[in-house]
Structure 1
C-alpha cells in the first residue's frame, strides 16, 4: 500500500485563505443563533462560574479545606474556556455538509481556490470565533476573580490554560471539519460528533484531576498530546479532502455486501494485483496490464503464492511501519532502564539469588507457575493470550491512529527492561535473567509481536493518509485484508511456536541456569 505525501503548502495563497475566512466569519456574525449563545457564554457564564466557585470556596473554608478551593479556581478557568469552544464543533460540522444541504456550496467550490486553501479557510473560520469567545470568557472570569478575591494565576498556569483551550478548540474543529467533508447530511454529522465531544469532555475531567492534585507540570504533557492529535487531524483532512467528491457524494447507504466483497477481493488478490476498489468489486477484475497494455488475469489464491509472493511483498511494503515499531521497541528498553535507575526498588524485593528451582518445578507440574496473568500454564493459554493481546492492539490502533498499538508493545518491553535493570542494581547478572526467562521463546515471539504491531499501526495510519484514489474506508479495508493475511499465515504460526517454546523449553533453561 503506497501512502502519498501530504499536500504541499508551498503554493498556498494566503489572500484566498483570508477571503474565505472573512466570508465565513461574516456569515457567522449574521446568525443570531450563533451570536447569542457565544455572547452569553462569554459575558454571563464567567460571572456565574465565579459566583459558584465563591460559594464552594466559602464552604470548604469552614472545614479548613482551602487548598481544594485554591485548586478548583484555575479549573474553573478551563471550564469557562471549554464551553464556548464547543460551538466550534457546531460551526465545523456546518462547514461543508451544511452548505451542501442549503445549496450554497457549489458557488464556493467554483472559486479558483485550491482544495488546500478552501479547507484551511473553512478550518480557520470555524476556529476563530469560538476561540476568541473562549479567550474573552477566561479574561472576564479572571478579572472577576481579581475584583472579588484578588487572585490571579501565575504566568505559567495562565499560559497552560490558554494553550489547552486553543488546542482543544483546534482538535474539535479539525475533527468536525473532517466529519463534515465526509458525510452526506447534517444529521449524520451531528451523530458522529459524539465521537469528538465525548473524548474531549473526558479529557477535561483528566485535567481536573491533575489540577486538584497540583500536578500542573503534567498539563504540558496533555498539551503535547493535543498538538500531536491536531497535526494528525489536520493532516488527515488535507489528505482526504476533495471538492468533487463532496458534490458527487449522494446519501450514504450502508452496504455490508459490498464491504464484504471488497475485503474478500483485497484478501484474495496479491498485493501488486489490487486495483481501484471500483474494479475489485467486479466478478472478473483486471489485476495487471501486460507490456502491450492488455489486462491480464489474476493469479489464483494459494498457499504457495501467499508464502512465496504475498508475504515477502507485504513485509517489504511495511518497512516504514516496521522501522517505527523497532524504534519504539528500543525506546521501551531505554525507558525501562531509566526508570529502574531513577526509582530503585527496596533491597531484597527483587532478587534471583534465592530462586527456588524445586518450588518452580512443583508449580510447573501443577500448571500454576505463580503468574496471575496466565492462570493456566499451557501452550493453548499462552497462545490465546498473545493472540488476544495483538488483536486488541489492532482494534485500538484503528481508534487511535496507531498510537495505542505502539503503547501496548512499549508496556511489556518497558517492564522487562525495568526488571532487568533492577536485577543489575542489586549486583546480579541481568543477562542470565534475560537468557533464561525471555530469550528461548522471545527470539520467536518478539519478531511476531513487531510484525503484528507494525501492520496494526498501518491500520491506524491509513485513516490519516489513505492510498491515492481510495477513500479512508476503502484504505482501511485494504489494510485490514493485509493485516489478516499476515496474521493468519505468518504471525499466528510464529506465536504458536513461541507458545510451545515458552511451555516446554523456557522452564528447562530457567531450571538449568538457576539450579
Structure 2
C-alpha cells in the first residue's frame, strides 16, 4: 500500500460508539457463518438439557444412599460447565480477528478505517466476545428452566451471580488473550498453536473451580473472579499497548533467528542504558567496573517505580504476617530462647529439606536460586509470582516477630538478632532482584518506549542479568557469610 497508514485521517477521541460500529459489522459476519453458529447453537440448545438430565439422574441416584449433598454440589458444577462451553467458542472467533483478515486479504481496508487503534482493537474484541457470551447466558437460562420444572431446583442469587461473572470474565480473558495473539502472528496456524497458552491455564482453572464447587467453598470463587478481572485489565492494556497497524501489514513471516537474538541481547547487556536502543552505537567491551559505577546506578534510577512497589509490598506482607500472630498463636512454652545452648543450631540442617543448610554455600545457592526463579516465573505471570516469592518469607518474618512478642519476647530484639545482621544485605538484594524480575513480566504488558514486545523482553532480561550478576550475587554472597558465621553468634550472645 503506497499511502502510509500514519497519513490516514483519525478521529480525535476514543469513541465507544465508533468501536461498536466495527462490532456490529463483525457480529453480522459471524451470524452469517454457519461454521460458527452451528456448534454454538448445538451447545446452547442441546447441551443444557443433557446436563439437566444428568443432574436429575444423579440427584435421584444419590438419594437412594442418603447422600443428597453430592447432588446438591453437582448442580452448581454443571451450571458452571453449561456456561463455559459456549463461551469457549469466543477463543476461536478471537483468533481470527486480525490474522484471519490478513489471510483473507481483507486486512488493508480494515486497518485503513479512519478510527483510532483503541477503537479498532476494542471493536474487534467485543465482536468476538458478544455472540458466545449471549449463547452462554442462553444456555444457563435453558439449564435453570429445565431444573426448575424437572426437580424444582432454584439457584441462589449469589450463586447465579458468581456463575454469570465467572462465565463473563473467563470469556473476556480468552478473548483478550486471543486478540493479542492474533495481532502478533502471521498465520492462523501459528495463532492456533499459541492458543495453547490460553487453553491450558483455563482448563486448569475450570478444574480448580470444580473442586471448590464440590467442596462448597463459594467464598473463594469471589477471589477467582477478582483475579480474572485483574488479568482482563492486564491483557487488554497489553493488547492496546502493543497493537501496531504498520507492523501487522508489514510482517510477512515469523522467523526465529538465534544469531540476531544473541546480537541484540549482547548489545543491551554491554551498552550503557541510555544507548541500549541505539543499534548503531559501538559495542563496548565487557567492563564490570564501568557497569558498576555508571550502568547499575542508572538502571536503579530507571527502575525506581518497581523498586518502590516491591518495598511497599514487602512492608505490607510483614505487617500482614504480624497481624496473623494473634489468630494463630504459638502454644505457651513452645519456644524457649532463654539460656539458648551453644549447640542450638547444630541440628538445623535436619529440620526440613525445603530450608537451606546453615552454610555459606547452602544459603547463597538457595537465595540466588530464588531470585532466578522470580525472573522465570515473572515472565509467565506478568511479574505476579515474583512478588509472591518475596512476600511469603517476609510474611513469615512478620508472623514470627508478632508470635514471639505474644510469648513475652521483644519482637524488635528478635528482628535485630535473627534478621538484621544478614538482612541489611540480603533484603536489599532480594528487593532489587524482585524489582527487575517484576519488570520482565511488566515488559510484556507495556514494553519500553520504542521497543516491540520481543525487543522489550530482551532488554528487560539483559538488565536483570546485568544487575543480578554484578550487584545482587555479591550482596547475596556477603549476606550468606554473615548469616552462616555471624548471625548464630549474635543470637547466642543475646539469648545464650
Fold similarity call, TM over 0.5 = yes
CA distance in 2, matches of 1:69, 1:56: 6
CA distance in 2, matches of 1:10, 1:201: 41
RMSD, aligned α-carbons: 1.6
- How big is the shift at 1:493? 0.1
- The 5 A counterparts of 1:155-170 are 155-170=157-172
Cα 1:355–1:331 change in 2 (3 A) is farther
Unaligned runs of 5+ in 2: 1-10
Partner of 2:289: 304
Are the counterparts in 2 of residues 184 and 249 from structure 1 also a CA contact under 8 Å?
yes
Q: Deviations over 1:276-313 (max 9, x none)?
A: 5xxx2xxxx23xxxxxxxxxx56554122111110000
CA distance in 2, matches of 1:22, 1:110: 18
CA distance in 2, matches of 1:374, 1:328: 23
- How big is the shift at 1:54? 2.0
CA distance in 2, matches of 1:435, 1:327: 21
Give 2:399's match in structure 1, choosing from 392, 407, 418: 418
Cα 1:209–1:266 change in 2 (3 A) is same
- How big is the shift at 1:339? 1.6
Give 2:228's match in structure 1, choosing from 223, 226, 229: 226
Q: Deviations over 1:83-130 (max 9, x none)?
A: 111100000000000110010111111111111110000010000001
Give the 3-state SS of the residue equivalent to 2:321 in structure 1: helix
Partner of 2:451: 470
Cα 1:369–1:354 change in 2 (3 A) is farther
Are the counterparts in 1 of residues 273 and 299 from structure 2 also a CA contact under 8 Å?
yes
- After superposing the two structures, state which structure 1 stretch, 375-384 or 81-90, moved more: 375-384
CA distance in 2, matches of 1:116, 1:138: 32
Give the 3-state SS of the residue equivalent to 1:357 in structure 2: coil
CA distance in 2, matches of 1:248, 1:442: 52
- How big is the shift at 1:426? 2.0
Q: Deviations over 1:366-412 (max 9, x none)?
A: xx374543463211111111111111011000000011100111100
1:174 matches 2:163: no
1:143 matches 2:145: yes
Partner of 1:454: 435
Q: Deviations over 1:139-179 (max 9, x none)?
A: 11111111111111211111111011100000000000000
- How big is the shift at 1:468? 2.6
CA distance in 2, matches of 1:208, 1:308: 54
Partner of 1:265: 267
Cα 1:422–1:167 change in 2 (3 A) is same
Partner of 2:485: 504
Cα 1:382–1:98 change in 2 (3 A) is same
CA distance in 2, matches of 1:461, 1:135: 34
CA distance in 1, matches of 2:73, 2:345: 54
- After superposing the two structures, state which structure 1 stretch, 93-102 or 465-474, moved more: 465-474
- The 5 A counterparts of 1:242-281 are 242-276=244-278, 280=279
Partner of 2:4: none
Are the counterparts in 2 of residues 369 and 377 from structure 1 also a CA contact under 8 Å?
no
1:430 matches 2:432: no
Partner of 2:125: 123
Partner of 2:212: 210
- The 5 A counterparts of 1:38-187 are 38-187=40-189
Partner of 2:243: 241
Q: Deviations over 1:214-239 (max 9, x none)?
A: 11111111110000000000000000
CA distance in 1, matches of 2:347, 2:119: 66
Give the 3-state SS of the residue equivalent to 2:256 in structure 1: coil
- How big is the shift at 1:55? 2.0
The count of residues paired between Structure 1 and Structure 2 equals 486
Are the counterparts in 1 of residues 45 and 139 from structure 2 also a CA contact under 8 Å?
yes
- After superposing the two structures, state which structure 1 stretch, 254-263 or 64-73, moved more: 64-73
1:337 matches 2:337: no
CA distance in 2, matches of 1:380, 1:275: 38
Cα 1:148–1:103 change in 2 (3 A) is same
Are the counterparts in 2 of residues 440 and 501 from structure 1 also a CA contact under 8 Å?
yes
1:409 matches 2:393: no
Give the 3-state SS of the residue equivalent to 2:450 in structure 1: coil
Are the counterparts in 1 of residues 338 and 495 from structure 2 also a CA contact under 8 Å?
no
Q: Deviations over 1:242-272 (max 9, x none)?
A: 1111010011111111111110010010001
CA distance in 1, matches of 2:356, 2:381: 30
Give the 3-state SS of the residue equivalent to 1:34 in structure 2: helix
CA distance in 1, matches of 2:12, 2:424: 47
Give 2:343's match in structure 1, choosing from 346, 356, 359: 359
Partner of 1:482: 463
Are the counterparts in 1 of residues 340 and 492 from structure 2 also a CA contact under 8 Å?
no
1:495 matches 2:476: yes
Give 1:318's match in structure 2, choosing from 277, 298, 303: 303
What TM-score comes out, normalization by structure 2 length? 0.95
What TM-score comes out, normalization by structure 1 length? 0.92
Cα 1:141–1:346 change in 2 (3 A) is farther
Partner of 1:389: 370
